[in-house]
Structure 1
Amino acid sequence: MRSVQGGRGLTRGAGSCGAATGRWRSAPAGRPHTCRAAASGGEAGGLPRGWGPRAPDNEGSAPAAAAEAPSAAATATQPRPQQQRNQKRQQPEPRRRRRVVVVGGGWGGFGAALAAAKAGAEVTLLDASDSPGGLSSAFVSQGGRVVEPGIKGFWRCYSNIDALLTKELRGALGGGSPLTGYTRSGFWTPEGLEVEAPVFGDLPRLPAPLGTFFHTAALFRRLPLADRLTALGLVGPLLEHDADEATYAEYDSTSALTLFRRAGVSRRLYKAFLEPMLLVTLFAPPEQLSSAAALGTLYYFALAHQDDWDVRWCRGPVGDLIMRPFARHLEGLGVKILGGRRAQQVLPAPGGSPLAGAVVAAGPGGAETFEADAVVLAAGVGAAQALVSSSPLLAAAPDLRALSEVRRADVLAARVWLDRKLPLQFPSNVVSGLDEGSGATLFDLSALQDQYAGEPGSVLEFDVYHAEQLLPLDDESLVKRLLTDYLPAALPPSRRADAAGARASDASVLRFRGATTVFSPGSARALPRTASDGVPNVFFAGDCVAQGPGTHGAKGLSQEKAYATGLQAGNAAARLLGLAPAARVLPVQPDEPHVAAAKEAARARVVLSRALRGGGAGGAALAAVARW
């Protein structure tokens, strides 16, 4: 078994300087190389020419040229070489394309690159990985099998990713879908199966959230109806938590655990469903999560519409089947993708400008500098924190300094090849209650991914979130723990004996320290916005971007949120540079009419309550306290 330590780098993104638009310049020893555009023409300090709304390129240049032109008579008396020199001076300099440097090659970075390129920017994408958009050869099992870390789902509510796969990348993907059909899932604790999640889209459509409750009524195996009904105490908070900024801030300051207690949620409902749900969607236990973030995630994934929880999986490695074709598509749009470039610093523009002017990255041959009119940071909160601390320009901005307050959690990804077939009841499973504060997903890859269908034994993936307690174990002890505790927990009691004799014929253990954002109480003020207030041409993309009123409806640590915020960041950068955004960002499905009306009533109640109290958010759910 091979162990890989991950999550420590500054970036996981890609970038490039193409020969058609730039050139490499040798630098003296000790100085970074610089990738410059062939046609420069930028200003030192202040906003460069052309930023903000601008006239078409053929407007505004003729008067200036005429003012400098010599008279026709004077030109006629000049020698031919002098006439040629004057004619050359009269020709306007070609307008340099605006340069956008994207740091990070995941969903957020690729989304930002797509949007900026479609708007006409010259885009360079920098990624620390050697193969942006593909598998890393460093992630291999003891037996030499290449492994993609972690398994990510594609929920029905992922409208932007769905449009990407079915429209934008339709030709690049070869005509077929890289995704499975929608699958059922099981929620397990050491006591057994707690609830089965059906494919809601196959069932009669009922108003939200009635459909979710009705269609799972017979699928809760152990939880009494009385406990399930205590979830009604969350209706008020779900409707009002993002009514306005003040209300969101009040909910954000309270932990999800505190909210559940005050709302009267039973302990059994909490342990059987709410805690596991948040552990695998926000990667932290409820006592460490903001109640605002928890409510937004529960609503987005499970309650807004009956079929939002329906999920599909990639039929193979996401890097191979989706991200690599995506990378080729970006290159076809002119995006220059460079792997093996770890961003180290963002430099200011010349002349004391308050703007970012370049990104320095460590490359194969040493430090390289990539000049930029706008920078998009999309490599995750850990990379952003390191980049801010090493860049005086960024560290001087209060909103960027606040990033240092954002907490991060550890993640473990283990892939195990068994010496026998051991099919699971569900291809995807949530397992909780084994290690305090940790939750896991267990996948039957033999049923989900084509490449494992012919293996002689089952191939299983264990992804453990908030895995601080497990990471110190050596690989052998960790795999043994997964097979003796986690695997039996996801099997019916009658089949647990089958797992007792199973052995690992091969395994890969990947540890990622501080790899995921924790939406802790009070974190909303520290999380980055799409556009920085302190450095106007620095933008953020990824699932770490702040949530709340006015933000995109995709919530939590989701691929959809990362991709949607990437599109938003690329559009925002283009708009700042005077370009016309061309990438459409699809909103989430609208609230059903009765839910929209209830939210409006809750918002009016919040406003009235604040007026009567003379201030304060006036959250209904934060008034009463229930004890477990």
Structure 2
Amino acid sequence: MWACGSSSTFLASALGIRRIRTQGRSAVYTLEASITDCHDSESSGPRKVVVVGTGWAGLGAAHHLCKQGFEVTVIGGHGGSSVSSEDSIFDRFDASLIHAFRQPSRNIFTLCNELEIQPFTNLMTSAVYSSESLEVKFPIFQNVPRLPSPLGTFVYPEFLNLSFFDRLTLLPLISAVIDFDNTDRAWRKYDSLTARELFRQVGCSEKLYRAVINPMIQVGLFALGEQCSAAALLGMMYYFMLAHQQDFDVVWCSGSIGEKIFRPWMAFMEEKGCQFLKSRRITDFSLNEETGKISELICGDETFLVDAIVFAVGVTELQHVIAASTLLQSRKEFLDVYNLRAVDVIAVRLWFDRKVKILRAGNIYSGVDDSAGWAFFDLNSLHEEYKDEAGSVIEANIYHANQFLHLQDEQVVAKVRSVLSSCIEGVEGAAVVKHLVLRCPETATLFFPGSYKFMMRGSTSFPNLFMAGDCIVNRHGSWSQEKAYVTGLEAANNVVDHLGEGEFAKIIAVEEDEPHIEALRSLNRNVNDIRSQVPLFDYLI
């Protein structure tokens, strides 16, 4: 639906002077003549903000905005899960699946302190298995002497089947790590390469890549190395394991993220006046053509008056919104979203009739299939509710699971049990007494080569529509749920800036590069600047 700015629903307002930038920035004053609709919040109450999405990004934006006194309504997306429940307001991928929280997740840890909750386990070790044997055991890096980055990542893990020479072939990757500084230049340079091509260029051994690197790519980026962008790989690896030795250390949520974090988080916001609405299908928007701003968000027969909107949904859900809106289809930045893709994820939880011995709480598995990535978790160690369970409770997450998505539950359970039997002693003789299969179709962002140029930024061509999520381009340097949460805070700051009310959210920056890395990056930037002055430097690909 399109609404003309000259229609009877809009009234002319007086000229006004508004301060639009505060706190840490120079104050900028704008004299504007505008046509606003009759629900102008300056005269009728708090400004109205609608946040679409209930994952880390959406809740992050709503959390800060409701603390600033805005009238915030959060609309849950359709989620991408085949399991429905009373809790469908939660983003199922973010709230129900098991996700690692690495040590750099400082904004999320700060949030939990603010909420006065303690949802995390102690630091735990992890491992990588192949179909043949246990391949790698990772220590708790904080418990060993700290080495200059990234040496600790190479030295301290116990590689059971790899020679010293195999491990040594990974060291040349440091040249790409130095060159990739998370700038637009770096992303455009490396986004044209696949992750596998990058490792081939630096001379990584086939055995190291097959046994360790590719399985970690499949779990971290949800697809094979030849399907993933080298830029995304470098961003993920640097944030999770290469920037600082202790970054690879991991804690887990001691129950479902939905129950341990999202539920008390939402209760906190409801006390601030935030309203949560279950799944709504967005059908279009109304545009004030005089201001170029969106004035209404339309969900079938429901209409929400808005001063600002934050979209914080995944790629697939955003594509559905665009498909329903002729207004969004009129802008290239939204049409580009159709070039993006997401992959299927399945979570399978198995209850056994007896305890089996699992060496590590969190594990990566490779060798089952050429396209799917696998991880499995000992829930008796991770989740408080299963600590006293008579038998083992194990969850397996399958990423890029398109070939398993349409199988019957019993077929999926049989496949998972077969995988677990190959690396956990005792599983083959144990009986599954209960199971739960959660299907999340097209929910995990696929960072394929060439995807960067199609990804949206935090601001859009609509002055009051802002974006958040792990598929949004930003320069914070974080990854996964920490990045999603940070983009939510950035979107909230964009709303504060646009409406000229409230305080900016404080976003904790990632830890600075270690001195030797910063020195090498500075030298690399200088070299690149010199090279760019050479005639015909950009002539060849």
Report the TM-score, using the length of structure 2 for normalisation.
Answer: 0.88
Between Structure 1 and Structure 2, how many residues are aligned? 509
Deviations 1:230-282 (A, max 9, x none): 11221111111236423421211111111111121111111122111111111
- Structure 1 residues 400 and 184, CA, compared in 2 at 3 Å: closer, same or farther? same
Q: Does 1:544 align with 2:478?
A: no
CA distance in 1, matches of 2:14, 2:206: 57
Deviations 1:486-524 (A, max 9, x none): 202333xxx3xx222122111111212111110111111
Query: Hey, what does 1:328 align to over in structure 2?
Result: 267
Aligned 8 A contact 2:96 2:258 in 1 = no
Aligned 8 A contact 1:183 1:199 in 2 = yes
Q: Does 1:97 align with 2:46?
A: yes
CA distance in 2, matches of 1:95, 1:313: 45
- Structure 1 residues 137 and 422, CA, compared in 2 at 3 Å: closer, same or farther? farther
Letter of the aligned partner of 2:169 in structure 1? T
Match of 2:119 among 161, 178, 181: 178
Matches within 5 A, 1:578-589: 578-589=500-511
Q: Does 1:52 align with 2:58?
A: no
Aligned 8 A contact 2:138 2:156 in 1 = no
Query: Hey, what does 1:88 align to over in structure 2?
Result: none
Letter of the aligned partner of 1:554 in structure 2? S
Moved more, 236-245 or 273-282: 236-245
Matches within 5 A, 1:115-130: 115-128=64-77
Letter of the aligned partner of 2:420 in structure 1? L
Letter of the aligned partner of 1:382 in structure 2? T
- Structure 1 residues 246 and 93, CA, compared in 2 at 3 Å: closer, same or farther? closer
Q: Does 1:504 align with 2:432?
A: yes
- Structure 1 residues 93 and 381, CA, compared in 2 at 3 Å: closer, same or farther? closer
CA distance in 2, matches of 1:152, 1:570: 24
- Rg larger for: 1
Matches within 5 A, 1:237-256: 237-242=176-181, 244-256=183-195
Cα shift at 1:148: 6.6
CA RMSD of the aligned region, Å? 2.7
Aligned 8 A contact 1:427 1:444 in 2 = yes
The answer for unaligned runs of 5 or more in structure 2 is 2-8, 24-28, 30-40, 89-93
Aligned 8 A contact 1:44 1:350 in 2 = no
- Structure 1 residues 580 and 42, CA, compared in 2 at 3 Å: closer, same or farther? farther
CA distance in 1, matches of 2:539, 2:21: 38
Q: Does 1:268 align with 2:207?
A: yes
Cα shift at 1:581: 3.0
Cα shift at 1:391: 1.4
Cα shift at 1:332: 2.1
The answer for unaligned runs of 5 or more in structure 1 is 1-30, 32-40, 61-91, 140-146, 623-628
- Structure 1 residues 591 and 337, CA, compared in 2 at 3 Å: closer, same or farther? same
Aligned 8 A contact 1:412 1:510 in 2 = yes
CA distance in 2, matches of 1:530, 1:509: 35
Query: Hey, what does 1:481 align to over in structure 2?
Result: 415
CA distance in 2, matches of 1:178, 1:483: 29
Percent identity between matched residues is: 37
- Structure 1 residues 408 and 454, CA, compared in 2 at 3 Å: closer, same or farther? same
Letter of the aligned partner of 1:163 in structure 2? T
CA distance in 1, matches of 2:115, 2:96: 23
Match of 1:570 among 475, 492, 499: 492
Query: Hey, what does 1:74 align to over in structure 2?
Result: none
3-state DSSP of counterpart to 1:329: helix
Letter of the aligned partner of 2:421 in structure 1? P
Matches within 5 A, 1:159-238: 159-166=106-113, 168-170=114-116, 173=117, 177-216=118-157, 219-238=158-177
CA distance in 2, matches of 1:403, 1:94: 37
3-state DSSP of counterpart to 2:457: coil
Report the TM-score, using the length of structure 1 for normalisation.
Answer: 0.76
Deviations 1:53-109 (A, max 9, x none): 499xxxx9xxxxxxxxxxxxxxxxxxxxxxxxxxxxxxx984642211100111101
Letter of the aligned partner of 1:520 in structure 2? F
Cα shift at 1:457: 1.2
Cα shift at 1:380: 1.2
CA distance in 2, matches of 1:43, 1:196: 67
Match of 1:345 among 283, 301, 315: 283
- Structure 1 residues 393 and 615, CA, compared in 2 at 3 Å: closer, same or farther? farther
